[in-house]
């Protein structure tokens, strides 16, 4: 089974801190995604990557950046955390050659910015 691992389940950070959320997948997937999920808003795409060192903005990239130095790891960076970035963050990966297999998610990081 594909496994997607997010480094932290819960995080509490202060306003203005730089925050790193890490995601690692172990099935050699090319595509990786970062979403945030908020009540009533569903999952919203922040950034995605289809290859090492490649990144594309999603629907809500403001206030975030990403890094993909290795195929298995996709990091989300909050440059200066703000309270409106309190959310559940979900990482996912997929194989472009097998879209019928869907997307596999990590267990999520619940971030609280105080």
Partner 1 sequence: RKEVEQDPGPFNVPEGATVAFNCTYSNSASQSFFWYRQDCRKEPKLLMSVYSSGNEDGRFTAQLNRASQYISLLIRDSKLSDSATYLCVVNRGGSYIPTFGRGTSLIVHP
Closest listed residue to residue 106, CA positions, set 54, 17, 37, 60: 37
> In the 3-class helix/strand/coil scheme, how is 50-72 assigned residue by residue?
CCCCCCEECCCCCCEEEEEEECC
When the beta carbons of 86 and 104 are compared against partner 1, the nearer one is 104
Binding site for partner 1 (CB under 8 A): 31, 33, 35, 40-43, 45, 48, 50, 58, 90, 94, 96, 99-108
Give min distance, CB of 20 to partner 1, in A.
20
Give min distance, CB of 26 to partner 1, in A.
16
């Amino acid at each position: 089974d594909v496994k997607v691992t997010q480094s932290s389940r819960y995080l509490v950070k202060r306003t203005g801190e730089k925050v790193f959320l890490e995601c690692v997948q172990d099935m050699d997937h090319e595509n990786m995604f970062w979403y945030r999920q908020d009540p009533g808003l569903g999952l919203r795409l922040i950034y995605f990557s289809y290859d090492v060192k490649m990144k594309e903005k999603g629907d809500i990239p403001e206030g975030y950046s990403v890094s993909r130095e290795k195929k298995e790891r996709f990091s989300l960076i909050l440059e200066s955390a703000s309270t409106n970035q309190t959310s559940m963050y979900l990482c996912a990966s997929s194989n472009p050659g097998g879209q019928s297999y869907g997307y596999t998610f990590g267990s999520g990081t619940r971030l609280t910015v105080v």
